[in-house]
Chain A
Amino acid sequence: MTRSAPATATTTDGVPGTATRRLGPSRMRMGDVFGVGSSGLRTRKARTALSALGVTIGIAAMVGVLGISESSRADLRAQIAALGTNLLTVTPSGGFGGGTGELPTEASAKAGRITPVREVADVIELDVPVLRNDLVNANETGGITAVAADVDLLAALNGQVAFGSWHDDATAAVPTVVLGSVSAERLGVIQVDQGMMILIGGEWFTVIGVLEPFPLAPDLDRAALVGKAAAGNLFASELSPSAIYLRTDPAFIDDVRTVLGPTVNPENPEEVSISRPSELLEAQDATDAAFTNLFLGLGAVSLLVGGVGIANVMVIAVIERRNEIGLRRALGATRAHIRRQFLTEALLLSAIGGVAGVLVGTGVTAAFATSQGWPIVVPTLAVVGGFGAALAIGAVAGLYPAMRAARLAPTDALRAA
């Protein structure tokens, strides 16, 4: 209506100074807050990418660290669950008391009579060298121990055969040997079909099988396991067990633990050491958590650096875009609108960095977990927390530049740079 010619504009014929046009407020739609806030980013794509990169690295580090450690723990827990937490290991603890420091020969049988004990097997360390053949130096045993084992051992330990087979009652009585995973590697055994033989205590033994590693009894990985009957025939007879492995009813594991010492060695119960190998794995879990915190701290530092980068870019943007600020004020923007524009810009910048960081962190976790054969676990807390941290950083980093932009007087802002 102001466009109409002056002749028709006299219709108001009111008192001079009467407003002729209803004046709405200066207002901005929600969608426009986003549109205006992103316009600076859209027109400066390279700078947007670079300044978001700082936040991306920080968030990716945090999500990656949490994801990888969580994946590794998931794997560890799966391992523990698969191996079972109901395994107890009994070993002699040396002669502090009046005894010999050895477990009695019949210890294993006695332990088996405790009601909640489901399976029991023992091994006897043989003090004889294990050699690849008769040509090598007799001292080059490669740290491999000869061990006489119960046929039940594999079942008690939930062990797996890598290739070949485990002892049965027949092979246990003849000179055959099953190798632990490390022993097989050191002796260079990669297959058992050709009837390969090794020298144990001067006797030739045929290798009939190789085992997968025992996570709960790593000592056995470096053992050459022969049958008890064969060991009794060829070497000494009455030998005391060097370790007894027991599977118990999980509900009574603590009770079994209590009575185990007096049961296996009634004369010197204090010379019996009892351990629960799954506890070691659980301890490892806790150690990993400590490392996770350290790396998380590093991630937080890089996030902070990313935030400083955003603040820096925003301060520069405010200086560079003085004319735009002046123009927008001239077009009717309030101080609040200008503040909102730059705050939105900083938040969008950090949100872009945050989303990219979560994606990269998840990708790194997936790649690393896959390479380790772990399950892929990305904790929700890491994703939500990482994104939230990015936004918080953006808000803090954007606040000061946004206030500066809003404080700028329009007349100063419009002055040619």
Chain B
Amino acid sequence: MSAPAALELVDVVKTYPGSPPVRALAGVSLRVERGELAAIVGPSGSGKSTMLHVMGTLDRPSAGEVRIDGRDVSSLSERRLSAVRAHLIGFVFQQFFLLDGMTALDNVANGLVYAGVSPRERRFRSAEALVAVGLGHRLTHVPNQLSGGERQRVAIARAIVHQPAIVLADEPTGNLDSRSSDAILDLIAELNDAGSTIAVITHDTEVAAAMPRQISVRDGRIERDSSSRTTAPPPAVVS
């Protein structure tokens, strides 16, 4: 393991203040290697959303270390964290979060605005990303003119347009019918084949089963990790 992992959590604890305090993550360690496609699966309340926030640097862990592309981000300032997100992380959300009234191309280009990329290059790379997700013919459509599956494709293009170290997809098929879901999962697999490192956070075991690696989360702990790298071979073995 000479190259740094795309994402690494070391003994991450996250406690929310309150009475009593809520311990959402109770010491999670996890490595996602470059080029991997992993599912983080668990029921609601298992702590997987907190994990997404901590992995995505949207929230800070109470204890432990978070490394993105080999970089410890736990101690970075707010501004540096924003830079980490702008350059190293791509997000895909269940609700797509596309901006209405903006074309697909402009929505994707938003993924490059905070990296300081010039408008001309943004357009060029956004068009490329849209072609990569199979929407080369929808560049100038606004979200209202797109189907749910197409909107999620635009959101995925936005998440990969800056070539992040890791793409975090939060329930990417949660708002889609089964046919669109399958198409999105196929697209995710395709992008992974092309080299993208992707972590899919989901409660849906079927979705998780479509991924090469499943990491099950329950009560703020990793219950099971099918990874052949960190544990003994076949998926049946519980770590």
Contacts and interface: CB of A to CB of B under 8 A. Distances in A.
A47 to B, nearest CB: 12
Contacts of A129: none
Contact of A9 (B3, B56, B113, B194): B3
A332 B3 contact: no
A323 B70 contact: no
Interface string B85-98: 11111010111010
Interface in A59-97: none
Contacts of A43: 99-102
Contact of A5 (B35, B82, B93, B94): B35
Interface stretch (A24-32, A112-120, A298-306): A24-32
Interface string A383-397: 000000000000000
A36 to B, nearest CB: 7
A326 B97 contact: yes
Contacts, number: 159
Contacts of B72: 17
Given A2-B34, A327-B97, A330-B58, A14 B2 contact: yes
Nearest to B54: A411
B56 A330 contact: yes
Interface string A10-41: 11111011111101111111011000100100
Interface size class of A (residues with CB under 8 A): 35 or more
B202 interface: no
A276 interface: no
Interface string B127-146: 00000000000000000000
Q: Is the interface of B mostly helix, strand, loop or mixed?
A: loop
A371 interface: no
B188 interface: no
Interface residues of B, number: 55
Nearest to B118: A29
A6 B56 CA distance: 21
Contact of A2 (B113, B114, B165): B165
B232 interface: no
B67 to A, nearest CB: 7
A29 B6 CA distance: 28
The interface centre, meaning the residue of A31, A324, A333, A414 with most chain B CB atoms within 10 A of its CB, is A414
B78 interface: yes
A23 B99 contact: no
Nearest to A45: B101
A159 interface: no
A10 B165 contact: no
Nearest to A324: B99
A21 B35 contact: no
A329 interface: yes
Given A326-B97, A330-B91, A416-B95, A23 B84 contact: yes
The interface centre, meaning the residue of A31, A326, A411 with most chain B CB atoms within 10 A of its CB, is A411
A335 interface: yes
Contacts of A333: 82, 86, 113-114
A29 B99 CA distance: 20
B210 interface: no
Contact of B102 (A9, A13, A31, A39): A39
Given A2-B165, A2-B197, A328-B114, 19 more contacts: A2-B163, A6-B36, A10-B3, A17-B72, A19-B71, A20-B3, A21-B87, A26-B115, A29-B119, A39-B99, A42-B101, A323-B95, A327-B99, A328-B110, A333-B86, A333-B114, A334-B79, A411-B58, A414-B58
14 contacts: A11-B3, A12-B3, A23-B84, A24-B115, A25-B116, A26-B82, A29-B119, A36-B113, A43-B100, A326-B97, A333-B113, A334-B79, A410-B59, A411-B59
Interface of B: 1-6, 33-36, 53, 56, 58-59, 67, 69-72, 78-80, 82-89, 91, 93-95, 97, 99-102, 110-111, 113-116, 118-119, 158, 163-165, 194-197
